[in-house]
Amino acid sequence: MLSPTQEALLALLKPNSEFDFSTLSAEDWEAVRKESISQAVPLLAIEGTLNHTHLIPNDVSTAWFNLSMQYLVKNSQVLSAQNKLIKILEDNNFPYIILKGLASASYYPDPTKRVLGDVDFLILPEQQPLVEEALINAGYKKELDEHICHRVFKKPHEHLEMHFEVAGIPNGNAGTLFRNYLKNAALKYTNNKNPNFNNPLPQIHAAIILLHTIHHLLGEGIGLRHLCDWAYFIEKTHTYPFWQEEFLPLLKKSGTFKFACVITKTAHIYLGTACPEWAKDIEQNLCEQVIEDLFSSGNFGKKDSNRAGAGRMISLNGKNGTKNNKFKNQILTLCGSMYYLYPFLRKWKILYPFVFVWRIIRYLILMLFGKRPSLIKANAYANERLAVYKQFELYENTEE
């Protein structure tokens, strides 16, 4: 059951809400402001307060306004970093698309109201060495971590994630389907204007944000920003032919159709966005469980590290749905990050078992001192979250 604070925040995001804001106390308004931060929707929320400013205490209103200015400055820094990146890519004739970020914002009623993080972009995999060389020559520092689908480049106030594969592509048949669907995605875009960038075709963007949402939901957790990204995309595109012609068939074959239906109807109920015919049969009770899960999590699980840490028990980085048992997921997740965190193991494989054992011992020691999430609490949270996520039937009953 949602708290009055949570109901109030949703009402600020939902047009024509019937929520009675006069019932909120000064403490309630401050709680709503803080919740909007946890959910990464403060700019959307403050816009929703414009008709209720006479009810908001001055100190809360001032704090909210000042915070919004900080986010807008951060957004402008991200846009500046993206513009610099695009110039490098276009000067060298490298095809690309922008992932999430401003691509997702382009579907919002007001794109400036989406909080931005860093600049994610997708290139053609075969051009990775050339793009890396161009970025390094432009003064970017390449991080040493070797992620399975991206590399990180940094300058002061600039954080770039260069993807050579879309994040969150699952294992097995579902992965093959999505990988084929997204082949050469860097070549499939429209030209966004003001700001100018290569925006993925809607059907490509649909796959990108769906996989991104699943990946983080089954990992550390997601908040309202992810739901808003999907909601506003659905609102703008649900009548486009690609849904019936290619995307819904892909969802059904890959075992992601029910999940897409659930988040679509959840967005409809709580944000007031469109609910196409294909999503209407989802029970409201499941949508209630989803929205409660999002509020418990916060953006990228920021509300509770123990709850976020449970993601290692829930799924293998979101790539296998909820199929494996919790212990197996924990071990496989640990194994999967070894080469990423310790690249020297690629050369010195004989050290692998020693580093593996050392990581386990180190984690347990840090856990005892409160520096790492408790496994006992994480297990309890994993059970709680799995009770919701298993209902999505992710990556089950896939087709070739």
Query: Which tokens in the block code for residue 300?
Result: 């990228």
pLDDT exceeds 80 at position 329:
no
Mean pLDDT for the stretch of residues 112-119: 95
Q: Which pLDDT band, with edges at 50, 70 and 90, does 351 fall under?
A: confident
pLDDT, tens digit, 9 for 90 and up, residues 259-279: 999 999 999 999 999 999 999
What's the Cα-to-Cα distance from 394 to each of 252, 282, 285, 294, rounded to whole Å? 10, 15, 18, 18
Which of 109-123, 193-207, 345-359 is predicted least confidently? Answer: 345-359
Mean pLDDT for the stretch of residues 99-126: 97
At 2, phi and psi to the nearest 5? -75, 145
DSSP state of 273: -
Q: Which pLDDT band, with edges at 50, 70 and 90, does 180 fall under?
A: very high
Taking the CB of residue 322, how many other CB atoms lie within 10 A of it?
Answer: 23
Looking at every residue in the chain, the average pLDDT score rounds to 92
pLDDT exceeds 70 at position 318:
no
pLDDT exceeds 90 at position 372:
no
Q: Does 357 or 162 have the greater pLDDT score?
A: 162
pLDDT exceeds 80 at position 85:
yes
pLDDT exceeds 80 at position 331:
no
pTM: 0.91
Helix axis angle for 284-297 and 257-271, nearest 10°, is: 80
Asked if 32 and 9 count as a contact pair (C-beta separation under 8 A), the reply is yes
DSSP letters along 327-348, please? HHHHHHHHHHTHHHH-GGGGT-
- Of 3.40.50.11540, 3.30.460.40, 1.10.4080.10, 3.90.1150.10, the CATH number of 4-305 is 3.30.460.40
Please tell me which of 253-267, 305-319, 335-349, 375-389 the model is most confident about, judged by mean pLDDT: 253-267
pLDDT exceeds 80 at position 173:
yes
Q: In 3D, which of 209, 40, 79 has the Cα closest to residue 13? A: 40
